[in-house]
Amino acid sequence: MSGSGHHAGVTVMCGRFTLTTPAVELERRFLVDLQGRHVPRYNVAPGQEVLAVVAPAGERRPARLVWGLIPPWAQDPRPGPINARAETAAVRPMFRQALRRRRCLIPADGFYEWLRREKARLPVFFRLREGEPFALAGLYERWDGPGGPRWTCCILTTRPNELVGQVHDRMPVILRRQWEEAWLDPRVPPEELAPVWEPFPAEAMEAYPVSPRVNSPRYDDPGCLAPAGPPLSRPGAGG
């Protein structure tokens, strides 16, 4: 999920994703009540509101968070980092409190990375082979200002698997299902979550180039996913 430039001194490396799965499937998969409502998203961008799953008191509930973490101690609500490096989040002042007490699931069913070719940036879409939704590892915070509380989030990244590594040197942390409960539970210390940082298996994913429409957050429609070339070769797929 890559973008360009920097946010608050953090290189943007995971900056667009999709969530096109119908509400009823999301409710079943993530055990939350969306009241049957979800607008399909084909190009979620930083600064926009994203669907998240939180469980501060042990019970899952949906939340709407702005993508770009603002820590509680920030002087003003300027957009914060959209990513946190999983390997160093525990020691970064920006992220360490959220890593201990405010972890969330960010549902997605695909993400984009950009392949740099000379001066062009070519978008590539990554998803699970069966197309099912998955949970990205997120952190969230509350910032209190004159206009009331503002809830924001960021997505953790890790080293890439063999598929994503063909395009980018980082990838979002995709949570394996067996780790989702522990990730949501603030009683589980970060020290016990190291296995979460392992890259999601490349064999379970697929990728293909898509339309450059996705380069602009103005476009958020099925055309963003239109194939623009052959699929990337997958490790172990014989080609």
Residues belonging to the active site: 14, 113
Cα gap 150→145, rounded to integer Å: 8
Residues 6+ apart with CB under 8 A from 115: 121, 122, 123, 124, 166, 167, 168, 209
CA distances from 130 to 78, 127, 137, 203 (A): 38, 8, 20, 12
Burial class (CB in 10 A: 0-12, 13-18, 19+), 166: middle
Cα gap 239→225, rounded to integer Å: 23
